[in-house]
Amino acid sequence: MGAPMGPPPSQSRQHAASIALEGARAARTRPEDARKAIDAALALAPDDVDVRMAAYKFHFYNHDYAPAADHAAVCIRMFAADLGLPPDWRSVAPDHADFAALARAPGRYLQALIAWGYCRARLGAVEEGREAVAQAARLDPNDRFGARRLLAVMERGGVEIDAYAVDN
């Protein structure tokens, strides 16, 4: 019996998804083309965290918060599983991972949690969003991703720090 031909199917799908995501990058000035590229990548590799991150970022930066929150939630679950964290972000403690390290996975977990919280707040679930951002602030001792600043803005009802300081 000979060697198998080509990469395993999962690798082929991930490669195809990566190519589709390149189409999204090329189409930044053409949002509908970018959306089609993201959708194609998701169809090919829905369990690929990079595809999910691209999807949440695309929707996030286009102020399409409902799908952004959905994709960020999937990312949170994926990163939690990879890091051995509890599946519910409310149960994660600072000592469950080295959130201060420059390692990629803990940082991406925090970014996804902050993004999800922001999206939930923008969608009207303000308290739930605030809780998620507060949790990210508790987990990130160096505030690398600005959760504390965002939390402060949320607690002032969305008023930016600079505007707040000038008016008060």
- The tens digit of pLDDT for each residue in 43-55 reads 988 999 999 999 9
Distance CA 55, CA 119 (A): 14
pLDDT greater than 70 at residue 6: no
Pick 96 or 13 by higher pLDDT: 96
Q: Per-residue pLDDT averaged across 109-113, rounded?
A: 97
- What's the token pair of residue 127? 């308290």
Cβ neighbors of 6 (< 8 A, separation 6 or more) are: 12
Question: How far is the first Cα of the chain from the last one, in angstroms, to the nearest whole number?
Answer: 78
Distance CA 127, CA 2 (A): 59
Distance CA 165, CA 163 (A): 5
- The tens digit of pLDDT for each residue in 137-161 reads 999 989 999 999 999 999 888 766 5
Distance CA 120, CA 82 (A): 24
Counting beta carbons within 10 angstroms of the beta carbon of residue 69, is it exposed (0 to 12), middle (13 to 18) or buried (19 or more)?
Answer: buried
Instruction: Tell me the torsion sign for CA atoms 115, 116, 119, 121.
Output: negative
**Phi, psi (degrees; rounded to nearest 5) at 98:** -90, 80
Give the pLDDT score at 7. Answer: 43
Give the pLDDT score at 4. Answer: 43
Give the pLDDT score at 17. Answer: 60
| Candidate ranges 21-30, 34-43, 98-107, 113-122; pick with highest mean pLDDT | 113-122
- What's the token pair of residue 121? 């707040």
Alpha helix ranges (H) inside the chain: 9-26, 31-44, 49-61, 65-83, 104-122, 126-139, 147-155, 161-167
CB atoms within 10 A of CB 76: 26
